Homo-oligomer: A and B are copies of this chain.
Amino acid sequence: MTATTDHADFVGDLSPDEFERHAATLARWIAEYLQHPERHRVLSGLAPGEFRASLPAAMPEKAESFDAILADLDRVVMPGVTHWNHPGFFAYFANTASVPGILGELVIAALNQVGILWRTSPALAELEQTTLAWLRDASGFPSDWFGMITDTASVSTLQALAAAREADPSLEVRHRGLAGRPELPRLRVYCSSQAHSSIDKAAITLGLGAENVVRLPVDGAFRMRVDALEAAVAADRAAGYRPLAVVATVGTTSSTAVDPVDAIADVCARETMWLHVDSAYAGVLALVPEHRVHFRGVERADSFVVNPHKWLFTPMDCSVLWTRHPQVLKRTFSLTPAYLETQEQDVALSFSDYSFQLGRRFRALKLWWVLRAFGRDGLVARLRQHCAYATRLAVEIAATAEWEVMAPVGMSVVCFRHRPAGMTEAAVLERHNAAILDRVNASGQVFLSHTKLGPDYVLRMAIGNLRTEWRHVAEAWRLLQGAARTSAAS
């Protein structure tokens, strides 16, 4: 080998012509997939370990042909895929790889921007600001909110609570940390019993400790009880603890409940606590005028998270963190070593100043394409339709003997269960409904998940895939009723 060997002498990286040929093959394959997602089982039918067993034990020494690699898509990969793109996907929060989003990811990969500093990709830094300003303004959020994209709501909430920890400079958390400081009190974070586990994980990561996440009781509609918040804060103050932050949820994971943000904001203002709003799923509904009511008071939040990769038809991953206090976020995380200093650093925004992650993908591009390809009206029409499906399903369930809707339906999720006459014990009802769930999921035609609402095990139908039509919802409901009959008979 001479040092001047041309790149073309090497195997492995394909030529641009080969790229084009294989891209065409894949485009055909993907188009076929998007046309007929229903050909696949929603939930993979593999057992744990089966997928691994189908793979060689070691990396190949020699380059493999790309045709062989592509052939493994159908042979090896697809049996292990759970089809989030299937219109019968109703588990967790349904999502979508829309066509504009998929094409956006193709360009993101090809340009391979690494957003460390402004200069490492001005397009990334500035498109992220503009795209998020578009989304913020169209959502009716305050015009002074600063936005940034992260990978997941877990990271958005972690960063928000890191900022909350830093909001009072006299605590000196960044420089001195939390350990070995006898003068520091316990730092407390409040959320409802329905709040997401990412809050606990953030508290663990930040060194606040899981036991300092205070989970408050909810009312009959699964909303945080503000009297309980006030009492908990007062008790903590009396115990010498420091109330640091409240995480209110607009659209809880289990039942899409909406905490009373306005009243919580009053408490936060009075007690000097950071108010973070977790609206990872529901935040996109702020685009829909008649749903703005869910967001009353969020303009007073210190930070807010919404995930376009959930219900805004953007492929994984894309979470958005907004904050009124970018300077606090910057004070928390900005740290510029000598090798990253630039002439423009005082005038050009680098997102690494606001994050514990140094590099970032060009995620803004796919979101920009989704917003433009759908337009606000297109997005609103679909969000409305999903909510209408949920309402219609809830009405049908409520009108059916021995079925009950278990939580108010304000968005696109329905919580419900089957309760045969005479079946009253919680454990028995749980076994019965879990059996129904397993049966419908085993059909391969739909995939639903469950949750607990208080002591009650309930089934959840989360509508949110772009390709879901009413007939898919109706089919799921038909399967559920059939499974209930079979299960009750067995």
Contact = CB atoms under 8 A, between A and B. Distances in A.
A483 interface: no
B174 A177 contact: no
Given A69-B372, A466-B13, A357 B152 contact: yes
B178 A177 contact: yes
B333 A467 contact: no
Interface string A352-373: 0000111111100110010111
User: How many copies of this chain sit in the oligomeric assembly?
Assistant: 2
Interface in A1-45: 1, 3-7, 10-20, 22-24, 26-28, 30-35, 43-44
A452 B338 contact: yes
Nearest to A241: B180
Contacts of A104: 109
Interface residues of A, number: 194
A315 interface: yes
Contacts of A60: 371-372, 375-376
Interface in A89-118: 91-92, 95-114, 116, 118
A100 B13 contact: yes
Interface string A336-364: 11111001100111000000111111100
A216 to B, nearest CB: 16
A151 B154 contact: no
A327 interface: no
A430 B256 CA distance: 58
Interface stretch (A203-211, A261-269, A291-299): A203-211
A219 interface: no
Contact of A375 (B12, B184, B335, B378): B12
Contacts of A372: 59-60, 63-64, 69
Interface in A113-129: 113-114, 116, 118-127, 129
B335 A197 contact: yes
A356 B202 contact: yes
Given A34-B19, A177-B208, A209-B178, A110 B121 contact: no
Given A114-B316, A180-B185, A105 B105 contact: yes
Contacts of A358: 152-154, 197-198, 201
A205 B206 contact: yes
Contacts of A200: 335
A175 interface: yes
Most buried by B among A73, A133, A356, A385: A356
A149 B22 CA distance: 26
A55 interface: yes
Contact of A35 (B5, B16, B31, B379): B16
Interface stretch (A79-87, A271-279, A400-408, A416-424): A79-87
B110 A175 contact: no
A235 interface: no
Interface in A42-84: 43-44, 46, 48-52, 55, 57-64, 66, 69, 73, 77-82, 84
A337 B196 CA distance: 8
B335 A48 contact: no
A16 B1 contact: no
Given A44-B122, A63-B378, A19 B31 contact: yes
Contact of A388 (B3, B7, B103, B178): B3
Contacts of A468: 7
Interface string A174-194: 111111111011110000000
A321 interface: no
Contacts of A469: 4-7
Contacts of A179: 178-179, 181, 184-187, 207-209, 212
Interface in A441-485: 449-452, 460, 466-471
B197 A186 contact: no
A254 interface: yes
Most buried by B among A175, A317, A336: A317
Contact of A451 (B23, B184, B338): B338
A303 interface: no
16 contacts: A6-B469, A14-B99, A17-B31, A20-B28, A23-B27, A26-B103, A58-B138, A59-B375, A81-B113, A85-B112, A92-B339, A177-B208, A197-B337, A201-B356, A206-B207, A317-B360
Q: When A and B form their complex, which 9 residue pairs have the shortest distance between CB atoms, in order from nearest?
A: A177-B209, A207-B207, A80-B123, A12-B374, A180-B186, A105-B109, A12-B378, A97-B112, A23-B27
